[in-house]
Structure 1
Amino acid sequence: MASINTNASAMTALQTLNTISKNMATTQSRISTGLRVAEASDNAAYWSIATSMKSDNKALSSVQDALGLGAGKLDTAYTGINEVIETVDKIKQKLVSARGASQEDQQKIQTEVEALQDHIVSVVGNSNYAGSNMLQDGTDVNVVASYNRTGTTVSVDQITITGADVQVLSEDGTTGIVSAIAADGWFDASGGAIADTAVDTMLGAVETALASLSEQASVLGAAKSRVDLQKDFVSKLSDAIDRGVGQLVDADMNEESARLSALQVQQQLGVQALSIANQNTQSILSLFR
């Protein structure tokens, strides 16, 4: 039946065009944003998961910053303690040379030892990073190592370095592993030649200090290795989360490009179909001529 009031073909063509236009808008949005799930209405479950994981990844970025700061402190302290060990080794060599030496030679050695003592104090005082001096403060250092989520429960793990385990010399020089060795007048030949027994006592103090310094260097070295490993892991974890989020919400650009081309063809055909449907009503006029 031909009707001028109802054009079913045109209505069908128009509905098809509306659907095509809506699909084109969706596809164009995905191409412009690169996201298949850009908001909760696109896929509530995926959007919620992706939003939480993106937030966690921002927290991991802060963890990486904290690990970088911790690594800087540990690197500085580790470099400093190794320099102290080398300096104490040099004092040891000077003491061996002083054993049985003449008073004149011992006085020369004393000058050299005092210079090495000053160097120890300088090294410890300068082993400072971002306001923290692990070799001198004697306070615990906590390095944020990870951010963990279990359901709605979150926790932050830390790597703790006990300050007392790595303190080499206090600021006033009265405490610490090398406090006696770095003290003024520890090696004093001004009143005459130093007896071999006195030199042997000093050598014993140096050996004790070296043993303790080696343990402290091991503590710092182990902590440094752990922080470096954690930095590497957190970086890989952050990348893995990014990939996981991408799999949930990213658009496949090849697929979207192909879909857009198909929709453009469908739109052109839809416009032609609507034009043909409208022409059918015009043919009714010929019946009245």
Structure 2
Amino acid sequence: MTSILTNVAANSALQTLRGINDSLEQTQGRVSSGYRVAEASDNVAYWSISTTMGSDNNALKAANDALGVGAAKVDTAYAAMEAALDVVDEIKSKLVTANEGSTDKEQIQLEIKKLQEQLSSIAQGASFSGENWMVAAAGAADETVVDGFIRNDDGTVEVTTASFEVSTYAMFGEIDDDGVGSDGILGNVMGIVLSDATTPAQLDGFLVTVESALSEMTNAGAALGALQTRIDLQTTYAGTLSDAIEEGISRLVDADMEEESAKLSALQTQQQLAVQSLSIANSSSQNILSLFQQ
């Protein structure tokens, strides 16, 4: 039966066209944004996971940036320790030379004093971002370096750190207003003073002091080196982990552009056919007029 009040074929064609237009709009959105899951309504589970992991990945990148600052602090302290080791070695050589009876100990003292001043200068200059790990009073709190960000099984988050015992490994406990260091690893080295009256026994005592300082400085350098290694390893790991998280998020929410391109072409063709079908359905009602022609 054909009715001039209800065009069943046109309604059917219109519903088909609406469905195709909805699919086409969704596919065009994916093509333009690059996302298969751009908002929660697209897929609640995937959107929730990707949002949380994306936030964690940003925090991990921030921790990686902090690692760069920490690495600079460690490098600064290590460079100072290396330079100070060379100076203390030179003081040791001067003391060995002073054991020769014909040497002028007063002249050697002038050289040692300059080397001691250099030690103070090295320690005072070992500052980065307002922190100096080479000058710290006894009992000072450990310095820390941010080295990671983790999410625990219970959903809580945690920033991890690596520490350095500045009170144990600092070259000096303090630097006075005249720029002279005291206490710390090198405090006793700063107390070495030669004169013509200095005895061989005193020289031996000074050598013991220097050897003790060199041993402690070697331990400090080893501690800094170990911290450097940890930071380097953590930096590499953080970069790899960040890439893995990004790839995981991509698998959940990114659109497959090859698939979406194929869908887009197919839907555009279907849209054209649906429009043609609706046009035919609408024109069919005009054929009824021919039934009333004489």
TM bin (shorter chain): over 0.9
Amino acid at match of 1:142: T
| Residues 43-69 of structure 1: CA deviation (Å, up to 9, x unaligned) | 000001111111111211221122112
1:256 has 2:260 as partner = yes
1:160 has 2:168 as partner = no
What is the CA-CA distance between 1:108 and the residue it aligns to? 2.4
Distance in 1 (alpha carbons) for counterparts of 2:156 and 2:112: 58
| Runs (4+) off by over 6 Å | none
Distance in 2 (alpha carbons) for counterparts of 1:197 and 1:152: 65
Q: Does the 8 Å contact 2:182/2:190 carry over to 1? A: no
Distance in 1 (alpha carbons) for counterparts of 2:266 and 2:162: 56
2:128 match: 129
What SS does the corresponding residue of 1:100 show, helix, strand or coil?
coil
Superposition RMSD in Å = 1.4
1:180 has 2:188 as partner = yes
What is the CA-CA distance between 1:243 and the residue it aligns to? 0.8
What is the CA-CA distance between 1:193 and the residue it aligns to? 5.0
2:111 match: 112
Distance in 2 (alpha carbons) for counterparts of 1:5 and 1:40: 42
1:171 has 2:177 as partner = no
Q: Does the 8 Å contact 1:60/1:147 carry over to 2? A: yes
> Given the two structures, how large is their TM-score scaled by the length of structure 2?
0.92
Gaps (5+ residues) in structure 2? 176-180
Identity across matched positions, percent: 45
Distance in 2 (alpha carbons) for counterparts of 1:30 and 1:180: 71
Distance in 2 (alpha carbons) for counterparts of 1:67 and 1:231: 7
Q: Does the 8 Å contact 1:142/1:158 carry over to 2? A: yes
Distance in 2 (alpha carbons) for counterparts of 1:49 and 1:165: 45
> Given the two structures, how large is their TM-score scaled by the length of structure 1?
0.94
2:229 match: 225
1:98 has 2:98 as partner = yes
What SS does the corresponding residue of 2:193 show, helix, strand or coil?
coil
1:195 match: 199
Amino acid at match of 1:119: Q
What is the CA-CA distance between 1:137 and the residue it aligns to? 2.1
Q: Does the 8 Å contact 2:94/2:112 carry over to 1? A: yes
Q: Does the 8 Å contact 2:147/2:162 carry over to 1? A: yes
What SS does the corresponding residue of 2:131 show, helix, strand or coil?
coil
Count of residue pairs brought into register by the alignment: 284
What SS does the corresponding residue of 1:136 show, helix, strand or coil?
coil
What is the CA-CA distance between 1:106 and the residue it aligns to? 2.4
1:240 match: 244
Amino acid at match of 2:126: S
Q: Does the 8 Å contact 1:166/1:220 carry over to 2? A: no
What is the CA-CA distance between 1:100 and the residue it aligns to? 1.5
Distance in 1 (alpha carbons) for counterparts of 2:43 and 2:257: 18
1:277 has 2:285 as partner = no
Amino acid at match of 1:64: N
